[in-house]
Amino acid sequence: MKITKTEVFVLGDPETAGPVDGSRIHGLAFIRIHTDAGITGVSEIFCVPPGVARAVLDGPESLFGRQLLGEDPVTPERLWTRLYNSMLHGNRRGWVIICLGAVDVALWDIYGKSVNRPVFELLGGAERSRHQTVDASDGQQVIPYCTIVSDGWDRDSVLREQVDRVVRLRELGYRAFKVEPMNQTRETIVELTRRTREAIGPEPMLSVDVGYLWNDVGAAVATLRELEEFDVFFFETPFPVDRMDAYSSLTAQTPMRIAAGEHAVTRWEFLDFMERGGLQVMQPYMTTCGGLTEARRIVELAQARGAIVCPGNWSTHVLGAATVHLAAWSPITPFIESAPSQVYGSPLRKALQGIGLPVVDGAIALPTAAGIGIDLPLDLIEEFLVPAEKGWRYHEEQ
């Protein structure tokens, strides 16, 4: 089997004159890899400008496309190493690694389809056990936690809209939640956490993300001390991710798990989080970190250091499907991130959730379909296709 073509296409929500919320997708690039056996693999490319994705991946003149043509896609690790080593004298971080990660996910999709097995079985099978996952969770299912944002970022909107969305999702059976009091005072952060815990009760998982809010450790320590009574599972990105000394100081002063990694690339950045920063929750995106091949290495590094891996995904259920396969294999992944379309307005998110792996009673069963287990119907692509002449934008506003 040989790779015959790489193509990039861009999907986005239709333009609208009405109000939109933070879930809107302006332009999200996807890659599809074709083979001479008629098997294709697909992946989204989260948070890479579509123009960059085209230059790196689209066709025989692109940076990676020209290196992939004629190659055997099995196994993905070999091509991961070839593409990564091709950049040893260039850019081994940033957008090019995310593009490499998308190639890797698409290759695993092809590999699984070629042998008629779900990808997690090729990663090593369901290694999760009652002795390794948090709170003896069921190793035969994957638990998504719902990321909750508000349409407005004033105090009243944050407190009202985020709690309302949590309650709606809890009524639908979801079991885990993360609220995001971005750009808020300590008082608002604590109040949102208190209200959310009261609304959902003691059992569901609750985490908090403040999106790189602080520079001083004292503010973080004081806030986390007030949050301890609400059983917060992890606290995400209190500082910009380059401030390893600040993370190290904070993790030495709080019993709460500190999390980061949504925009981190390669195992080396995650190793820095754990070794220098003392972080206990790693949050790789399946494409951003460098693909499933690199995500598996991150899990192995975290397991050896007593950390856990709760992969991030403030994107669609295409990336979510790849995330489920890592979690199905990983012995240290009690939760994965998800943005359920039931509380957000994006039509594209809703359409992709409709063809994604279903959530039943707050859980996703281990996949049984070959490959990643998600294909994009032609009519869906045609409905949401963003033509190149409209210009290239990020997946979301920056």
Query: Percentage of the chain surpassing pLDDT 70?
Result: 94
pLDDT at 356: 94
State the average pLDDT over residues 344-362: 95
pLDDT at 395: 60
pLDDT at 230: 98
- Residue 287: band (very low, low, confident or very high) from pLDDT cuts 50, 70, 90: very high
- pTM, two decimal places: 0.94
- Residue 43: pLDDT above 90? yes
Tokens matching residue 123:
């990663």
As beta bridge partners, residue 257 has 234
pLDDT at 35: 98
Which domains does the chain possess?
Answer: 3-117+377-390 (3.30.390.10), 122-365 (3.20.20.120)
pLDDT at 391: 61
pLDDT at 397: 59
Name the maximum alpha-carbon separation found in the chain: 59
pLDDT at 16: 78
State the average pLDDT over residues 36-60: 95
State the average pLDDT over residues 391-396: 60
pLDDT at 15: 84
pLDDT at 91: 76
User: For 166-213, how does the pLDDT look when each residue is reduced to its tens digit (9 = 90+)?
Assistant: 999 999 999 999 999 999 999 999 999 999 999 999 999 999 999 999
**Distant-in-sequence contacts of 296-302, Cβ < 8 A, 24+ apart:** 296/123, 296/124, 296/326, 296/329, 297/267, 298/267, 298/270, 299/326, 299/329, 299/330, 299/331, 299/332, 299/333, 301/267, 301/270, 301/271, 301/274, 302/270, 302/274, 302/332
pLDDT at 275: 97
pLDDT at 136: 44
pLDDT at 131: 56
pLDDT at 221: 98
Q: Which residues contact 89 (CB under 8 A, 6 or more apart)?
A: none
